[in-house]
Amino acid sequence: MHTDGVKPALTVLTTLAVLLAGCTDADDEPSDAAAGPPVSPSASSASPSPADESPNDPSTDTSTEPALPEPPHRVSLPTLMRQGPDGGRLRVGAEVYRTATQRQHEATYRSGDLTISGRIAIPDGPGPFPTLVLAHGYIDPDVYVNGQGMTREREWLADHGYVVLHVDYRNHAASDDTRIGELDMRMGYTEDVVNAVHALRRWDGPVDDERMAIVGRSMGGGVVYNALVAHPGLVDAGVSFAPVSSDAVDNFDRWIRPDPTRAGMADEILSRYGTPRGNPAFWDGISARTYFDRITEPVLIHHGTLDDSCPIRWSHETTRLMRRAGVNVTLEVYEGEGHAFGPQFFASMERTHRFLRRHLR
């Protein structure tokens, strides 16, 4: 279980929408990543790779937050580690969707000095309910609309008894914009997700703040890694679907450096921070894998073997490094599944539900 003394939130710089992201949610608008087919009503069961099942038992984990590493740069995960709780004032707005089992509303909350918009799904009933924060994948902020991305996951999870707050991120939808924009290397997105957890804890709604997790897809899967290393104990578990690499250089080299339409952005990044070879300390400082030994929560990763946006080798390597650092991590491998999770979407959600029921207790 979490301990409030070891889970400060983040108040930092601002965000990177496309940078290190590149991947797109299954229900997002088209972007640089392949979105894949829509979900199929039939779901085939995918067997996990035996080598990727973690033998660790989280119930025996008595670890505490390790000493803070020195920040190599003000744009870095160690900088986020030093930020105190700064999320709150969750406001539930207009109802935008209702079924027999749930209702969904527009929402806003404070993340540092910014107002962040999102969408909250609340199951019918008195609660309190286990609670999740969703971190969506990359969608061009210029076309993004409130609650876009992970809409399937949001509805499915609320139907199964979770309060779910989908974070729009800064510079998206009705959220406040920032001057640094896409040049903060996704640290601001991480700040917004962590502050969403704190906002939910301070809300007087039907939230069980002793049962909380963060769930992300694609770029948002990388945000999940960032949040777990920045604030051990913030939540009770983390789940990543088809995530980006836990090495920032992999993401930069895949989506920014080779793209002629982003040449200006790549030049600005390299000018500000240096090249990975010339300034490795900076790039290590924004890569979650550098700090995997700080993670104290169980992690579930879903990845398809035919993902042509975020290669599955990234998740194999992330799993290997997490396990080496002592993290209780499980990688579920989906044979023949692409980035968007179509036919095996429901199988992945059932596994997520079992994982959360086990660890949110």
25-53 pLDDT per residue, tens: 544 433 333 333 333 333 333 334 434 44
49-76 per-position pLDDT tens digit = 434 444 444 334 444 556 899 999 999 9
pLDDT in tens, 147-180: 999 999 999 999 999 999 999 999 999 999 998 9
Q: What is the CATH number of the domain that holds 42?
A: 3.40.50.1820
**Number of domains, the chain:** 1
Q: What value does the mean pLDDT of the chain take? A: 86
Triad 116, 117, 120: Cα angle to 5°: 125
- Identify which of 156, 149, 146 has the alpha carbon closest to the alpha carbon of residue 134: 149
* pLDDT, position 11: 39
- Taking only the tens place, the pLDDT of each residue in 181-233 is 889 999 999 999 999 999 999 999 999 999 999 999 999 999 999 999 999 99
Asked if 46 contacts 347 with a C-beta cutoff of 8 angstroms, the reply is: yes
Band (pLDDT 50/70/90 cuts) for residue 103 is: very high
Q: Is the dihedral of CA 172, 205, 164, 227 positive or negative?
A: positive
Query: Which pLDDT value is given to residue 202?
Result: 97
Find residue 63's DSSP bridge partners: none
Report the distance separating Cα 122 and Cα 129, nearest Å: 9
Return the percentage of the chain with pLDDT > 90, whole number.
78
pTM: 0.84
Maximum distance among all Cα pairs of the chain, rounded to whole angstroms: 57
**Prior bond of 128 cis (ω within 30°):** yes
Q: What does the alpha-carbon distance between residue 266 and residue 222 come to, in Å, rounded to a whole number?
A: 20
Calpha distance 329→103 (Å, rounded): 33
Instruction: Report CA Rg, the chain.
Output: 18
Domain containing 63 equals: 4-359
